[in-house]
Every structure is written in C-alpha cells, then in structure tokens.
Amino acid sequence: MFVKGFVGASVVFGAFAAHASAPSAWKDYDQRVTSACLAASGLKDVKPVGGLVTYDDRVPVTALVLAGRYPQKHMKNAPGRELCVWDRKAEKAYVSEADQLLPKAPQ
C-alpha cells in the first residue's frame, strides 16, 4: 500500500516538474517578466533590448535591458536605457537607469 502511494505521488510530482520546465511554461514566464518590466519602466515608447538574463537560484533574479525615451520635459525626449531586475521570490520588477550600461542609442 505504501509503495503504491509513494509511486503515485512520484508520478504526480514528476509530471508537475516536467510541466514546469516545458517550453510553454518558459514562454509564459518570459512574457510575464517582460510585461512587468515594461510596466515598471519610467521611459516612454519602451521596448526590451535583447533577451532575458536568468541567474541561477543562488541569485534568484532575471534581468532585462530596456530602451525608450525620457518623458520629462527637461530631457527633451532623449533616448534612455534602464536595467530591469525581476525578483523571482517577490515576483516584482525593479528598474534603474542604465544609460552607461550599453553604448549610446542612436538618436
């Protein structure tokens, strides 16, 4: 009886683990992170630059570079970049100015 229950539980948890790493699950995760980063951005006409950079579980974050234009009047619509860091544990996006991260964007 115990063996049957253990095997049944193993199959259920094994199926869950396989589903969690399925391509569709990764695609959903990428979309969720990208959407959260775009929403957290202070830039207008913001777009992702490149792809997501996912760190291992020792540093549970995913990073994404964003590019857009500064909306403040004194910035005169200048191009800008931000680094978005998605905290996997808190499921929250944090952005910071990152103009120095990459070469200047063409104006």
106 assigned to some structural domain: no
Nearest residue to 61 (alpha-carbon basis) of 32, 94, 39, 28: 94
20-76 per-position pLDDT tens digit = 579 999 999 999 999 999 999 999 999 999 999 999 999 999 999 999 999 999 999
Domains in the chain: how many in total?
1
Range of the domain at 20: 2-97
102 assigned to some structural domain: no
63-102 per-position pLDDT tens digit = 999 999 999 999 999 999 999 999 999 999 999 999 998 6
21 assigned to some structural domain: yes
Query: Residues 30, 52: contact at Cβ < 8 Å?
Result: yes
